[in-house]
Structure 1
Amino acid sequence: MKTINRRSAIALGVTAAAVTPLFSLAASAKAKKYGPKDGKEIAPGVRVVEVGTGNADIPAYKSIAIVDVVFQPGAHAPQTVMDNDMVCTITAGAFTIKKADKEFKLKEGDMYTCAKGKTDEATNTSKVVGIHRIAVLIPA
């Protein structure tokens, strides 16, 4: 086993100090607990909560809006045409997603995309409150 000299110990300490804030940012991406009246109801048992917005460095998009779509157990969001391109992350629960040409199942930590003009519908198939964190890409 190698011994650590003073220079290695300092480098390790500086690296640990630099990385620590990244771990706290990752923890903030966890699903937030929402109350039954938070956000705006879009379907029975399905609510949209605005999380925040920011500028985009992607040339095709001017900004990004982050929303959480909160589904009660068994709740269903009916088929909807997407107004914008979106990147969706399941932060809680399990879902069945139906698109025009396919159906698939997702669980916490899984991601999928939605394209502008395409249809999508989702059902929370879990026994817990399910959350889709959606990055809505706003065109330039």
Structure 2
Amino acid sequence: MNRRSAIALGLTAAAATPLFVLTAHAKTKKYGPKDGKEIAPGVRVVEVGTGNADIPAYKSISIVDVVFQPGAHAPQTVMDNDMVCTITAGAFTIKKADKEFKLKEGDMYTCAKGKTDEATNTSKVVGIHRIAVLIPA
């Protein structure tokens, strides 16, 4: 390996490091049965954090984890805001007004303000939705 290759390899590794750090921070923690606020039997919302948005239509973003016990169901709800949802644990069936679909860990979906959504944890483990709630400007 010559000096130029070593420098290129070092720069590539340095550039990739933040990506691995961000991935590690995105993982959800283990929650206890009383963490957060109960919104349905076996379903709790835990606030993770908030931040400002650089997207012109939104002033801020709130991140929450919705923690579902195995088999727990969140009934149909009208969305107050646009949202981006990531399944960080478990497996779910999601029902919307016009469709139903299944998701597993690592899958993502969106919810639009004014639309309905309901979710059921179909796995045998605690399931978690990490949700980015987009707060309008």
Q: TM-score range by the shorter chain?
A: over 0.9
Distance of 1:107 and 1:22 partners within structure 2: 22
For 1:14, what is the secondary structure of its paired residue? helix
The 4+ residue runs of structure 1 with deviation greater than 2 A are none
Deviation per residue, 1:55-114 (Å, 9 max, x gap): 111111000000000000000000100000000000000000011111110000111110
Larger radius of gyration: 1
Post-superposition offset of 1:18: 3.5
TM-score when normalising by structure 2 = 0.96
Which residue is equivalent to 1:101?
Answer: 98
For 2:62, what is the secondary structure of its paired residue? strand
Distance of 1:18 and 1:101 partners within structure 2: 43
| Structure 2 residue 90 is the aligned partner of structure 1 residue 110 | no
Post-superposition offset of 1:37: 0.7
Q: How large is the Cα RMSD of the aligned pairs?
A: 1.0
Which residue is equivalent to 2:70?
Answer: 73
Deviation per residue, 1:6-61 (Å, 9 max, x gap): 12212312331332232122112122111111100000000000001111111110
Post-superposition offset of 1:135: 0.4
For 1:117, what is the secondary structure of its paired residue? coil
Count, aligned residues: 137
Distance of 1:77 and 1:38 partners within structure 2: 17
Aligned pair partner of 2:79 in 78, 82, 85: 82
| Gap regions ≥5 residues in structure 2 | none
TM-score when normalising by structure 1 = 0.94
Distance of 1:85 and 1:19 partners within structure 2: 31
Distance of 2:118 and 2:101 partners within structure 1: 11
For 2:80, what is the secondary structure of its paired residue? coil
